[in-house]
Structure 1
Amino acid sequence: MTELSKINKIDLKILTILQKNARITNQQLAEQVHLSASACLSRVKRLESEGLLKRYLTEIDLEKLAPHVEAFAEVTLENHFPEDFERFDAAVQEIREVTDSYKISGAYDYLLKFVCTDVKSYNRTSEGILKSNIGIAKMNTLIILERTKDFSGYPLDILVDL
């Protein structure tokens, strides 16, 4: 952990609750962590200012909203100089269909997650990326057939030693 203000069990409980329900009212949060509303709000503001609470998101159920296809792409770059990674990272930021990008170790340099309307749309997007001259040597696609576990927050109680 970086040198921020000391995190205690109450802060950890606030983080745990907020990652499961970011729409909880401050009053409800305060009751759950046994603080006054003003003390709870002060802690939340401190956690935000220190960057532990980065942003609040809404998870949308795409299955109910629209037909789509999700895919992972394992990417290997042609060269491995810092400027090659920087160029690739910058280009990926501009591709709306890429929802996640991870620089990884192992046989590939990156793991990208795509969300597209269908396989043809993914194919057009991936071909466009390959033709864009951002230094890709190889891209291997894995179509996601079914999500078997959703992200439901980090296991803070396991990760943070208090």
Structure 2
Amino acid sequence: MKLDAIDLRILDAIQRDGRITKLALAEKVGLSATPCWTRLRRLEQTGVIVGYHARVALRRIMPITAVMVQVSLRNHRQSEFERFERVVWQVPQIVACWSLGGGVDYLLKVVASDIEAYQRVIDGLLAREVGIDRYFTYVVTRTVKEEMAFPLSALVGDAAG
């Protein structure tokens, strides 16, 4: 889908404030309300916008432990990858999973109440025999940067060369 500068401004604005009113959004991107609303609906209907979310400051509710986990599988058959990924979707503490190229098959982001709760998640994966050959645990000691909004202008500029 080809996006123009106004579409990108709309996306940038709603990434930063999903609760922005339609009128405020229109003013921010330099359109009147109706054309802005039409563009927003098109972005939603084409699947460019997939949802609106609240960002929760979890550490204000309870202490948490965030862990990054490198996972390598024993076998590299498509069925093994699919089985592992199905199980990952069933574990709510695994909040992100990336399939990687190179020496590691997956990178997981796990959140748990403490390190013992994290270990129970890993033990559960191992008990389910999802093909894990080895895993490496990296405890997050401090979050330096965690952006939820994509840098659309920079990415478009990169793609343009």
Q: Are 2:37 and 1:37 aligned?
A: no
2:98 corresponds in structure 1 to: 102
RMSD: 1.1
Q: Distance in 1 between matches of 2:141 and 2:73?
A: 26
1:106 is displaced (CA, Å) by 1.9
Gaps of 5+ in 2: none
1:9 is displaced (CA, Å) by 0.5
**Ranges of 4+ aligned residues in structure 1 off by more than 4 Å:** none
Q: Are 2:58 and 1:62 aligned?
A: yes
1:50 corresponds in structure 2 to: 46
SS of match in other structure, 2:42: helix
Q: Distance in 2 between matches of 1:18 and 1:135?
A: 40
Q: Distance in 1 between matches of 2:101 and 2:107?
A: 10
Structure 2 letter corresponding to 1:71:
V
Structure 2 letter corresponding to 1:24:
I
SS of match in other structure, 2:6: helix
Aligned counterpart in structure 2 of residue 130 of structure 1, from 119, 126, 133:
126
1:38 is displaced (CA, Å) by 1.2
Number of residue pairs aligned between Structure 1 and Structure 2? 158
Aligned counterpart in structure 2 of residue 12 of structure 1, from 8, 11, 22:
8
**What TM-score comes out, normalization by structure 2 length?**
0.94
SS of match in other structure, 1:160: helix
Q: Distance in 2 between matches of 1:12 and 1:76?
A: 38
1:140 corresponds in structure 2 to: 136
1:160 is displaced (CA, Å) by 1.6
Structure 1 letter corresponding to 2:66:
E
